Amino acid sequence: MLYLSKYIGLYGISFVVVLINVIILESILKLKENKKLKKNDIKYIIFILGFFLAYFVFNSSNDIKNINGINIKKKETLKVRLIQGNITAKEYKKAEEKNKMKNIFEKYMNLSIKENSSELIVWPETAVHRWIMRIPEYKNKIINIAKTNKINILFGTPDLEPNDEEYNSAFLISKTGKILGKYNKNYTVPFYESYFKKGKEIRPFEINNIKIGVEICFEAFFQNVSTELKQKGAGIIFLLSNNGLFGYSNIPYITSAFMQFRAAENNVYVAQLMNTGITQIINNNGKVLKKTKLFETKIINYEIPVIYKQTIYSKYGETTYYIITILFLVIIIAMLLKIQMRRRKK
């Protein structure tokens, strides 16, 4: 079903699934009551079977094309290095209490430069629970590592602005040490992130003439963030997250599933990076190509294809839902009118 989201999105697929199940359930109930299926019922069943057959045939052929490199022309790629630092919530708390947050910062620094040949290093959301870009000791070090190793760095960090407003942010630093951009999280977690101000703009960064989109954690659940990034030219989307607080729960898996839909909806590769996992690379059809396990220190190196071509869904976004709703209402009205006409004839 993932491939269909390129046309109708996640909620559109949900609508189709519910509709199909209602038709199947109605047919089963009629058979149980020893009632004969009407011509329309048989047509619906044939349509459903034909729909699934056509979908699986098309999807299989599409996967083969992607494997052979027919659909994805790797003319433009970005070599990334995703750092899963695996810092638990307890470790963060302990480091804050003993003023040893510097150790966490150094761990990310060491993992970043070790045997590295990538173009972009990526750290997760709130990689270090400090205002990295406001404290000279941290800021100078991360800029220096970018310049010394000639590597671009994308990382998440809380940011305290001069007016004392705090944001959950992501920064992109170039290999020359220049700050290329900053993104403030637009959708914060209710109550839990109440102390963070909400960002007001969604826009991609640019690196090596490649536009990349950045989302932070909770934003994975809002399809309009990915869609807007794609509409503004993002060729790759990065999700930075820190789910260590949730332990061995379903939260990382749920977030991952949503990002698979975001990738398929917008015909874009997604690099998902979580502090304690799951970190993964998702292709433009929503298929996971490479992933880590929960609670392990891991690095993923991957050369990601850049895809700028939009889908019907990424182009029109939530408008597709309005169209589906209108079509649904038209069908309901048509059915009611038909029933009314039959009653009049009787």
**Confidence (pLDDT) at 46:** 63
- Residue 144 neighbours by CB under 8 Å, 6+ apart: 177
**Tokens, residue 204:** 């991609």
Q: If pLDDT is split at 50, 70 and 90, which confidence band does 231 have?
A: very high
pLDDT higher than 60, residue 274: yes
User: Can you list the alpha helix ranges (DSSP code H) found in 296-318?
Assistant: 312-316
pLDDT tens per residue across span 87-116 = 988 888 888 877 788 899 999 999 988 777
Q: What is the pLDDT of residue 37?
A: 57
CA distances to 44, 45, 54, 148, 311 from 51, in Å: 10, 10, 5, 56, 20
Average pLDDT for 159-174: 94
The string of pLDDT tens digits covering residues 44-68 is: 566 556 655 555 555 544 544 444 4
DSSP string of 43-107, one letter each residue:
HHHHHHHHHHHHHHHHHHHHHHHHHTTSS--TTSEEEEEEEE----HHHHHHHHHTT-HHHHHHH
Q: Is the pLDDT of residue 26 over 80?
A: no
Give the C-alpha separation, 99 to 105, whole Å: 12
Whether 275 and 243 have beta carbons less than 8 Å apart is answered as yes
Token couple for 72: 């994805």
Mean pLDDT of 243-266: 92
| pLDDT value at residue 71 | 46
Angle between helices 5-32 and 319-345 (to 10 degrees): 30
- On the CB side of 25, CA atoms within 13 Å amount to 6
What is the predicted pLDDT for the residue at 263? 96
* Confidence (pLDDT) at 208: 87
What integer pLDDT is reported at residue 55 of this predicted model?
52
Mean per-residue pLDDT, 226-241: 97
